[in-house]
Amino acid sequence: MNVIQLGDKAPNFIADSSKGKIDFHEWLGESWGMLVSHPADFTPVCTTELGMMANYGEEFENRNVKVAAISVDPLESHQRWIEDINETQHAYVDFPLIADDDRSVSELYGMIHPNADSTMTVRSVFIIAPNKEVKLMLTYPASTGRNFDELLRVIDSLQLTAYQKLATPANWEKGDRAVIVPSVSDKEAAELFPAGFETVKPYLRLAELPA
C-alpha cells in the first residue's frame, strides 16, 4: 500500500468519472483540490455527505477549490447513486464521482486499509494545494459523517498560511486574529501588518486579518 505524507506531491491519475475521463492534475489546473473517498456506493452516511458537498459548491468555488469523490464501484453504479443523492439530499451533484473498480487510484493514495477492509476504501479526505502538494489528510470512521464547515475552516487556514504568512490558533474561526508564522521577523511583520500586532511571547504574535 502506498503511503502519502503531508508535503508529498499528490499522485496523478487518469480515470473515468461521472463527468467524463479526467487527468487529475490537468483537471485541478491552478486550483486547490479536495478529494474524498467512500467505501462503496449507496452507503447511507456517504449519501448525506455527497449531497452536502454539492450544496456547499459555491463555498468551495469562492475559495478556488475543486472537489471530487471516489469509490471502488463502477461508473454505471455511480450514475444511479447520484440520482439517489440528488433526490434524497435535495442537491445537484456537479462534481466528478470517480470510478475506481480496479482500485488503482485507491492503492495509489493508500485508501485501502486491510485492517478496515481489504477491498473497500476507507473514508479519507485529501486537500491539495495548486502546486499539487498534499496539505491535509483526514480519515473518518464509517459511522461519522464529515463536517464540511470544519473542512472549509481548514481550507481557510491553509490559504491564510499560503498567501498571508499566518497560522491559525485553536478553535480559530474566519475573522478571528491569527498567528504570525515564526519565519516572519518582527520587521517583516510590521510591514505585512501595518495595523500592528500583539506580541504575547516572542514566539506567539497575533495579528488582525488584513481586510
Give the active site residues: 46
d(CA 71, CA 69): 7
Whether the Cβ atoms of residue 50 and residue 85 lie closer than 8 Å to each other: yes
Shortest CA distance to 182 belongs to which of 166, 198, 163, 158? Answer: 166
d(CA 184, CA 199): 13
